[in-house]
Amino acid sequence: MWTPRTHFLKLVCVPAVALICLLGVSSVSAQCSLQGLTKTGSAEALTAPEGKSYHAQCGLTVRLGQAPGFVTSAAPNNEKVLFARFYMNPKGVNLSSGDAAIFRARSGGATQARLALRQVNGKLHFVTTYRTNGSTRTHGTLVPVREGWQAVTVAWAAGAVGGSLAILIDGQQELFISGLINENERINQVDLGVINDANGTGRLAFD
């Protein structure tokens, strides 16, 4: 069950609503843990990350020099619709090359939606990758990353010709992709953190 103060990532799966906790604690003063999650690499659970903005007492931090580092939840169960929201703080992050994938919704080896960071002219941007008609594509629109804590929302839906993917930052829609051909695609796992071996320095915080 979902208790707002103990979660840094909220996932809503439709039609069967499933709210899952990625960092669960028994009380506000309890220590953070990764119970119920699969941890890969250097992901660290923190109690009350500095300047946090979400309901949770717990947060997650990953140092880019030690990436990959992320957690995985297998709570989604063949979902056709997924809503995910988390907070992220990129303060001090510098990517020397390539993308740093921070969010991935997938079914086995097939990634349905992925959000990554890319640095262009010294500024960080979100890069969106999605699956349609059996192939993976990267959208050409780069969404600027804001300074400090920001709420990131990923909304995905399957459909014969009406599948869609939306990215919202602080409640404002920045990207909407419609007409996806993904009727038979489902989501069973969600990853959050720094998923690939990103080249860079600094520390990404999630809440």
Give the model's confidence band at 50: pLDDT under 50 very low, under 70 low, under 90 confident, else very high: low
pLDDT in tens, 129-174: 999 999 999 999 999 999 999 999 999 999 988 999 999 999 999 9
Contact indicator for 102, 193 with CB cutoff of 8 Å = yes
Sign, CA dihedral 201-54-71-191, equals: negative
Q: CA 28 to CA 5: how far, in whole Å?
A: 7
State the burial class of residue 118 (Cβ atoms within 10 Å of its Cβ: 0-12, 13-18, 19+): middle
Q: Specify the pTM.
A: 0.85
Tokens at 194, concatenated: 């720094």
